Chain A
Amino acid sequence: MMHIFEEGLALLRRRGAVSAVLALSMAVPMALAGFTTSLSLWSRPLVALESHATVVRVLLHPRMDVAQRQAWIAEQARNHRDWRLSEIDRETLEERLQVWFPYLEDLLEGEHAIELPTLVEIEAGDPEEVTALAEGPAVIAVGPTSSIDRVLGLTARTMTWLLGAISVILLASAFLLAATWIHLEVFRHADEITIMRLVGATESAIRSPFVVAALIPGICAGLAASVGAWYLIRMVAIAVEAVGLSAPVFPPWLVAAEIGVGVVLPMAAALVTMARHARVGETD
């Protein structure tokens, strides 16, 4: 076990500069893939909007008390049998708004705190019918009935898919980099592989050092990619926060994921490449 590691290190030492370049060039697509993954996670709340497309939001006057609100809701339900009305409680509303307006908390606290109106969601067959409610004294606003939510949701969903696809392509290019490097190394060492076979080395004894030699740059690439992804997300976060929106965050598990990818990709690349070139260095 130990000597496989030593053999792998010996391979690496001979190609120190190239391995470092390999680690860095794998880190670039891996970092970008981590970045796009975080962005696609960040846009998830937007995707959820799409399913609410037939829901119209209505804001009730903040001064109405519980009984008044319930009476109003009951009345609407009586008048429009096909509507489904649900009152969103204060905490849920706060939570939802906070996603987009991080400063809301400050507005809702202290002496001059503003009071949040009550939000009622109405799922209607024909959203346009809900607009008429705006005339009543209990209602201070009726949300947009246009398909803006649907458009936003669809856009976000497309973006998520696109970002996902980009992540996959980026990871594939990291895989190809590792595979190409191992391919070159195997051919560079064809003579030695021949000799190793002739003196009784088994396939695993021949292949393992190459796997180790790919693994170490891979792990380094994983670490570097974590730092890179963190930095990219930080840059976007700064820009987004400046506009007052909630910023994407760097999920801590991304470090583990990047290192995991750094282990799995080069290992898979090594095994696949070596299996494809199993006959390199064979004598007959």
Chain B
Amino acid sequence: MIRLRNLTKTYDGRRILRGIDLQVEAGEFLFLTGASGAGKSTLLKLLYAAERPSDGGVWVAGQRVDQLSRHKLALLRRKIGVIFQDFKLLRHKTVLENVTFVLRFHGLRTREAHRRAYQVLKRLGLHHRQSALPEVLSGGEQQRVAIARALAYQPRLILADEPTGNLDADLAGELLSLLCDINYQGATIMVATHDHALLEAMPARTLVLHQGRIEYDGSWPP
């Protein structure tokens, strides 16, 4: 599902990622961890092509993402559900519209998109806020909208960047079990986090980023 070869990313001469090689099979669940600033978000951004590698290659779902045309990239991104660390909600759209907006790309009619979005929001305990604008929501609520948007169209690959950063322990646990369900149905899931409680709550393949390299790749705890 994911293949990285000699992936290198440099920002203003600072090497954030130094020649990373990685293979992730379809249906895997893995954690990506490391200190703040280790480059977790950067690695995920390279996967959904929000950044281009300084060197090396990135393959997702069999396609080399750093060389895709704009149109093909758009189509590929529709197969990836990204939970952004900074949420990236459309500020002029309501909670429900933020979710239905992407469902529309998948050809869903208005009514069906609303039904599906409502279901996901309900599962995340946000259905009562469906007509609110993102700016009036708490951090945790905004995060859950971002999660709902990423999960609503049942993508085959989910990239989650600190998905529990603003959630309390209960909500974090619930999210984890939701992600497990989805993984059980066959989706590949990659969660970037520095929340050790999360790592311990669920035994899974874990990558530790340190000084631009994958320092550890295996089950957790080591």
Chain A contact residues, CB within 8 Å of chain B: 2-3, 10, 14, 191-192, 194-203, 205, 283-284
Contacts and interface: CB of A to CB of B under 8 A. Distances in A.
A196 B97 CA distance: 13
B86 to A, nearest CB: 10
Given A202-B71, A205-B105, A14 B92 contact: yes
A68 to B, nearest CB: 83
Contact of B50 (A10, A191, A196, A198): A198
From A191, A194, A205, A284, name the one whose CB has the most chain B CB atoms within 10 angstroms: A284
A51 B101 CA distance: 65
Interface stretch (B72-80, B124-132, B167-175): B72-80
Contacts of B92: 10, 14, 192
Contacts of B91: 191-192
B52 interface: yes
Which 5 A-B pairs have CB atoms at the shortest separation, nearest pair first?
A: A200-B78, A200-B77, A283-B50, A202-B74, A195-B88
Contacts of A205: 105
Interface residues of B, number: 26
Nearest to B51: A284
Contact of B74 (A191, A194, A195, A197): A197
Nearest to A202: B74
17 contacts: A2-B110, A3-B104, A194-B88, A195-B90, A198-B77, A198-B84, A199-B82, A199-B88, A199-B101, A199-B102, A200-B76, A200-B78, A200-B102, A203-B74, A205-B105, A284-B50, A284-B51
A283 B51 contact: yes
Nearest to A13: B92
Given A3-B104, A198-B82, A203 B70 contact: yes
Contacts of B48: 198
A74 to B, nearest CB: 80
A277 to B, nearest CB: 14
Given A14-B92, A199-B82, A199-B88, 16 more contacts: A3-B104, A192-B92, A197-B74, A198-B50, A198-B77, A199-B101, A199-B102, A200-B74, A201-B74, A201-B105, A202-B75, A203-B70, A203-B71, A205-B105, A283-B50, A283-B51
B49 interface: yes
Interface in B6-49: 45, 48-49
B149 interface: yes
Given A192-B91, A199-B149, A284 B78 contact: no
A22 to B, nearest CB: 19
Interface in B79-103: 82, 84, 88-92, 101-102
A5 to B, nearest CB: 12
A281 to B, nearest CB: 11
A192 B90 contact: yes
Nearest to A199: B102
A284 B48 CA distance: 11
